[in-house]
Amino acid sequence: MAKLQNAINLRPTFEDFNIKHYVETGTGGILDSYGQNSLLQVSQLQIPDLRMHSIEILDRIYNEAVDYFKDNDNVCMHLGASHDKLPETLEELDENPTLFFLDAHYPDSYRDEHNVEIIRDDPDYIKIPLEGELRIICQSRDVSKDIIVIDDIRIYQDGPYEHGNFENRAVHGGQNLNFVEELLDETHILVESHLQEGYLICFPVDTPEDTVRKYIVGA
Ligand SMILES: C[S@@+](CC[C@H](N)C(=O)[O-])C[C@H]1O[C@@H](n2cnc3c(N)ncnc32)[C@H](O)[C@@H]1O
């Protein structure tokens, strides 16, 4: 299962980089996650001054999360497409380091009897919103102290992923990840993980290279 805690070691990353904000696109189900939902796992770190924001396009998933976190004032849910909701979410951040987990794609996709993923015919800014999300983030803040974790990079490029390539990429996926290099090359070290569906983990460029392994699952 592609989850933040399968990409990075949560506690050392949040603590060592002094992360004060967590922003996630794509909440995903909480009750059906067997405790593995990323927002749930981040909230369970119980870091007192960590504010958590999650953006979700589907009412039922949003409502479930609102209900689940109703007693946790540090979790703030946002209902809508990530491109529409990121600007107001970003306004709530200050200059302190933020960890972004970009994991929104294919609302309401499901698998048929042959286990082939069936994807709704939404426009690309909803189906594969990553490039726009990253552009919105980089235009609105200095990201140089932020960590950015991108999930499911196999949507954008083939590779030796633990769970194989994405059979629907030609029809529903992206062409490449060149835009990540364009936007983050000067400010971040980019590390690919091929676990599960593939992650791209972007650390501030001044992170000592010999410490990066401490934060990456399986490194
Ligand atoms: C893979 S799941 C997220 C899993 C969750 N982040 C976790 O790690 O536990 C993807 C979620 O993104 C949502 N989503 C898809 N496209 C979206 C979009 N354009 N904007 C916001 N949410 C979106 C889906 O409805 C789904 O809940």
What is the full DSSP assignment across 139-195? HHS--TT-EEEEE-GGGT-----TT---TTHHHHS-S-SHHHHHHHTTTEEEEEE-S
Name residue, tokens 């306004």. Answer: 91
- The reply to whether ligand 1 has any atom less than 6 angstroms from the CB of 198 is no
Distance CA 118, CA 8 (A): 29
**From the candidate CATH numbers 1.20.120, 2.60.40, 3.90.190, 3.40.225, the one assigned to the domain spanning 4-141+153-185+199-215:** 3.90.190
Ligand 1 centroid from CA 82, angstroms = 9
89 lines ligand 1 (CB under 6 A): no
- 3 CB near ligand 1 (under 6 Å): yes
Q: What is the pLDDT of residue 219?
A: 86
In single-letter form, the type of residue at position 59 comes to: D
Ligand 1 site-directed mutation target among 33, 42, 85, 106, most atoms within 8 Å of CB: 106
Q: Is the pLDDT of residue 117 over 70?
A: yes
Q: Which atom of ligand 1 is nearest to the CA of 26?
A: 12
Distance 95 CA to ligand 1 centre (A): 26
What pTM value is reported for the model?
Answer: 0.97
Q: Say yes or no: CB of residue 172 within 6 Å of ligand 1.
A: no
Atom 9, ligand 1: which residue's CA is nearest?
Answer: 37
144 pLDDT tier (thresholds 50, 70, 90): very high
According to DSSP, the residues that pair with 117 across neighbouring strands are 111
Mutating to test ligand 1, I would choose from 23, 25, 42 the residue with most ligand atoms within 8 A of its C-beta, which is 25
Taking only Cα atoms into account, the Rg of the chain, rounded to an integer number of angstroms, comes to 16
pLDDT for res 160? 97
By the 10 Å C-beta count (0-12 exposed, 13-18 middle, 19+ buried), 57 is classed as buried
- pLDDT average, residue stretch 140-152: 98
Q: Is the CB of residue 197 below 6 angstroms from any atom belonging to ligand 1?
A: no
User: What digits encode the pLDDT tens for the residues 20-66?
Assistant: 999 999 999 999 999 999 999 999 999 999 999 999 999 999 999 99
Identify the residue whose tokens are 């004032």: 73
| Residue among 56, 64, 131 whose CB has most ligand 1 atoms within 8 A, to mutate | 56
152, two tokens: 């499911």
Name the pLDDT band for 168 (thresholds 50, 70, 90).
Answer: confident
Distances from the Cα of 136 to the Cα of 40, 88, 141, angstroms = 25, 11, 9
